Amino acid sequence: MQTDTLTQQSQSHSLIASDRVEGTPVRRTSGEKIGTIERLMIDKISGNVAYAVLSFGGFLGMGQKHAPIPWTRLTYDRTLGAYHLDLSDEELKSAPSVAAGQEFDWGDRSREVEIHNYYRVPPYWGAY
């Protein structure tokens, strides 16, 4: 009975634990799966989520890529049980990304500017 109550509570509010976001599918409006959320990147100063790192492409772990997606570009779709992102295959292939296993230099602000310009959203840190 307590498990049912906890499940109902977790679905009735807007907060979610980060470990429950990791592995969540990312889909297009059509429902087609683009990839999954690998991890969240959180701004240390504000505490806000800056990026969701999208894991996509590849086969059996080979050729997989990670793309930092500004958090503001994602919306949660309860019906799909997934985050929603409208990007074509071509846009996703052209998006700033790194090969799985390769580190992204989060200290390189010019790379972050590239990401925000690509997705046409203002940066999480304010004007640049």
| Average pLDDT per consecutive 10 residues, the chain (128 residues; last block may be shorter) | 43 78 94 95 92 88 88 92 93 94 89 95 84
Task: Answer yes or no: is 24 within a domain.
Answer: yes
1 falls within a domain: no
Q: Could you read off the pLDDT of 8-39 as tens digits, one per residue?
A: 444 566 788 888 999 999 999 899 999 999 99
Structural domains counted in the chain? 1
Global confidence as pTM: 0.83
DSSP assigned state of 73: G
73: domain CATH number is 2.30.30.240
Q: Is residue 30 part of a domain?
A: yes
Q: Is residue 10 part of a domain?
A: no
Dist. CA 109–CA 64, nearest whole Å: 24
Is 103 inside any structural domain? yes
Among 54, 52, 67, 58, smallest CA distance to 98 is for: 67
Q: Which domain holds residue 29?
A: 17-119
In a domain, 58, yes or no: yes
Q: Which two tokens stand for residue 113?
A: 């500017």
